[in-house]
Amino acid sequence: MTKSRNKNNNKAKIGFTYLLVFLLLLFFFYAIRMILLHRLPPDNSRIPLTALEEKIPIPPRPGVQGIIITGPVIKDLIFQIDTKTSQLRKLDWRRIESIDKTADVKIRATVLRNGSLEFNPITDVISPGHSYAGNEIAKVVETWKYTHYKHGRIYFWFNFPSSGVKLTIDTHELVRNEDLSKKYFVRNGLLFYINGLPLSCVNQAGRVFVGE
Amino acid sequence: MAFKKQNELHDLEFPSLIDVIFLLLIFFLVTMQFSITTDTAHQTSTKPPDIQLPLAEGSENVAMDDIISTLLFQIQYKEKNNPNSPRLVYVLEPFNGDSISRGEAFMIAKRDSLFAEFPQNFLKMKDQEFKNTTACRLISNAIFQYKAEHFHKPSIENTVEIRAEANVEFKIINYIMQECSAYKDTIPRVIFRTLAKTRG
Amino acid sequence: MAFRTKENSFRKVQLVSLIDMIFILLVFFMVTVTVVRLTIKEQKLPVPTPISERGRAQIVIQLLNNGNFLWLDDHATAQISKVMDTIEKNYSYLSPSELNRKKTEEALSILLKKNIFRKDQMEGKLKHLLKIADSDPSSHYFVLLRSPDEIPYYEIINIMQKLNSAKYQNVLYGCVGGRLDDIKNSQNVKVVIEKDKNGRRRENLQIDF
């Protein structure tokens, strides 16, 4: 008697387990269905009660009197330090700052049409009382080369004691090279190659007054 | 001694029941799909088409009974399956604004002589000469009249259909399109009838 | 008398029920599964009608009578642009009208030399275009098909049908009648700089008939 009761209990348990599994599967099935329905675009998941008048725009039409074929995008040219130059040297700001904290160096240089910088280290580097810093900076700056999109006068002011802008670059005398096609716009990019100087301390659109 | 045979209550055949339920469940899981059924899903074409249309997948199936609901130009060879025979153009229109089957519209076009033949040398003709042929004048008049009666304002729904043999020269098709374009945005599209192989 | 309970025999597989259910399911499947068969169905392919003004396209395909075709896209424009820059530099002494004529001549010469392809190359070019279109759903292309009068129109339909298979339906098309001579005899071919809808400046090739 107990055996048959046990057997019945077991059967009920198995049956109950099966039912539970079945219900769980059914639940998963509907859950997946709901997720798939939600992922469909609204038009495909719902049948509207009223037919909405679809406003389809008139598609583009071909012209017979001529064609304008879309061409490539004209990328702006960037006047900036040409990092592909092999002799390019980075100025170590912190090293010079550690040697001479109050260094005030101005450089008056010329950007040639090929992008290289030209200046006289004696007459074009103005650093009264800070000759060491002036020499060090001049040695590095003369290796800088720019992309060949502009030429003209460029001025640098390395102002170490300043609490705000420490480097000012004056580019207002630069002009675009004549051999460039008029379709290109030339923008200024990064005009210095310095390690240890935050960008917020640099003003590339400033004015530098250097005595002649 | 006679032993009473006990009538055993048959237990519920759980394993079989569960097996069957699982089978049905899997079947419904596999076959349930979110597709929009259209009437044309039931359409099966058993007749070969009367003219050899170009093969292409279009964006819309033709209605079950091939009802024409707008102006349709049917261009075919005068002699069936003879590409060297002259081209004929038939003007098929819905009757009094109601949709009719293409077959009926074709019979009406034949009856009312709404068809014309392109000259054999139409390819060599200059533009003005070609426009003055009977067939071209029939096409332009049909478009003009249909547009006046049914296309009152520019709409993408305003279309003219072209049903032509695949090898028909583009000159004729181009003429129909140019005539439609003369009305600017009023008839912004033409519909080409094509044949596409689809799953049935 | 104590009767020993009969040992439970192993449950036998209910064959009859099983076979019944299998047959029911078999019949069900036979009835509901549709046999895949290919039927020929008539379909509708919409094509825009032309307009009587200068049109815009990303790609122009000019079909030729010998089966070859001229394919003009942004690469062709870039080629022409380079040539025009060189002419502008080297012939700056010419008057504006003479300079324009020189540019047109050179541009047409380049267009016809470097952009005519064989019939068997059409499939590859269309596939490449669709690949690019499918890789960027936000891009839009309009392909202008120009065909001479003699070409059977199914050839144009074939091309349009292939263009129709873009995944995001972002390749539109239109067809007009036209010959290579219209392009060859153009009096005005130039590169114009225009802003696209994203505000970027582009060098577009303008050909007037």
**Average pLDDT estimate for A109-134:** 92
Q: Do A56 and B34 touch (CB under 8 A)?
A: no
Given this model, what pLDDT does residue C31 score?
65
What confidence score (pLDDT) does residue B44 get?
Answer: 42
> Is there a contact between C36 and B53 if contact means CB atoms under 8 Å apart?
no
DSSP 3-state of C196: coil
The pLDDT, as a whole number, for residue B35 is 44
The pLDDT tens digits for C153-192 are 999 999 998 998 898 989 999 999 999 999 999 888 989 9
pLDDT attached to residue B37 = 39
Q: What is the pLDDT of residue B3?
A: 55
CA dist., res. A157 & res. A153, Å (int) = 14
The answer for A 44-73 residues in CB contact with B (under 8 A) is 44-45, 56-59, 61
For residue A179, the chain C residues in CB contact (below 8 A) are 89
Asked whether residue A9 carries a pLDDT value surpassing 50, the answer given is yes
Q: CA–CA separation, B75 vs B118, rounded Å?
A: 10
Which of the listed ranges A31-45, A144-158, B63-77, C92-106 does the model predict with the highest average pLDDT? A144-158
Domain ranges of chain C: 59-208
Residue A22: which of B12, B21, B32 has the nearest Cβ? B21
Which of C145, C175, C204 faces A70 most closely, judged by CB atoms?
Answer: C204
- Mutation target to probe the A interface, by most A beta carbons within 10 A, among C52, C169, C171, C204 is C204
Tokens 């239109």 locate to C174
Count of CB pairs separated by less than 8 Å, A with C = 123
Q: What does R_g of chain A's alpha carbons equal in angstroms?
A: 37
- Matching residue, tokens 């014309």: B116
Q: How many other C-beta atoms are found inside a 10 Å radius of the C-beta of residue B24?
A: 13
Which residue from C176, C86, C14 is spatially nearest to B12, judged by alpha carbons?
Answer: C14
pLDDT of C16 above 60: yes
Question: Which residue out of B29, B127, B155, B186 would a mutagenesis test of the A interface target, given it has the greatest number of A Cβ atoms within 10 Å?
Answer: B29
Residue of A nearest to C89 (CA): A179
In this prediction the pTM is: 0.72
Taking only the tens place, the pLDDT of each residue in A18-34 is 888 888 888 888 888 88
**Residues B34, A58: C-beta atoms closer than 8 Å:** no
Q: What pLDDT shows up at residue C3?
A: 59
Of all residues in chain C, the percent with pLDDT exceeding 70 is 88
What backbone torsions phi and psi does residue A120 show, to the nearest 5 degrees?
Answer: -90, 120
DSSP state of C121: G
Contact B159, B146 (CB under 8 A): no
> Which candidate in A7, A22, A40 is best for mutational testing of the B interface (most B CBs within 10 A)?
A22
How many angstroms separate the CA atoms of C26 and C11, rounded?
26
In angstroms, the separation between the Cα of residue A71 and the nearest Cα of chain B is 27
pLDDT at A1: 59
Across the range A113-132, mean pLDDT stands at 91
Task: Tell me the torsion sign for CA atoms C187, C191, C193, C199.
Answer: positive
Task: Collect all residues from A whose CB is shorter than 8 A from any CB in C.
Answer: 58-74, 179, 181, 183, 185
Q: What pLDDT is stored for residue B36 in this prediction?
A: 38
Residue A48 has pLDDT above 60, yes or no: no
Cβ separation C149–B191 shorter than 8 A: no
3-state secondary structure of B186: helix
How far is the CA of A150 from the CAs of A84, A107, A115, A180, C82, in angstroms? 17, 18, 7, 9, 21
**DSSP letters along chain A, please?**
-HHHHHHHHHHHHHHHHHHHHHHHHHHHHHHHHHHHHHHS-HHHH---SSPPPP-PPPPP--BSSEEEE---B-PPEEE-B-TT-TT---EEHHHHHHH-TT-EEEEEEEE-TTSBEE--TTTSEE-TT-HHHHHHHHHHHTT-BB-TTEEEEEEEEEETT-SS--EEEE-TTEEE-TTS-TT--EEE-----EES--GGGEETT-------
Yes or no, beta carbons of C58 and A69 under 8 Å apart: yes
A85 — pLDDT class (breaks 50, 70, 90) = confident
| pLDDT at residue B18 in the model | 76
Write out chain B's pLDDT in tens, 200 residues: 555 555 555 666 677 777 777 777 777 777 765 443 343 434 444 455 678 888 887 777 776 568 888 999 999 999 888 888 999 999 999 876 666 888 889 999 999 999 999 999 999 999 999 999 999 999 999 999 999 999 998 988 899 999 999 999 999 999 999 999 999 889 999 999 988 765 54
Cβ contact, residue pair B54, C158, below 8 Å: yes
Q: Does C16 touch chain B (CB under 8 A)?
A: no
Mean pLDDT value across residues C57-77: 94
Q: What does the pLDDT average to over C9-20?
A: 69
| CB hemisphere CA count around C169 (13 angstroms) | 3
Q: Which of A17, A23, A24, A25 to mutate to test the interface with B (most CBs of B within 10 A)?
A: A25
Q: Which chain B residue lies closest to C38 (C-alpha atoms)? A: B199
Percent of chain A with pLDDT over 90: 59
| Chain B to chain C Cβ contacts (< 8 Å) | 163
Report yes or no: C172 and C140 within 8 Å, Cβ to Cβ.
yes
C155, C65, C148, C78: which is closest to C115 by C-alpha?
Answer: C78
- Going by the DSSP 8-state scheme, the letter that residue B182 receives in this structure is T
| Token pair for B139 | 């096409």
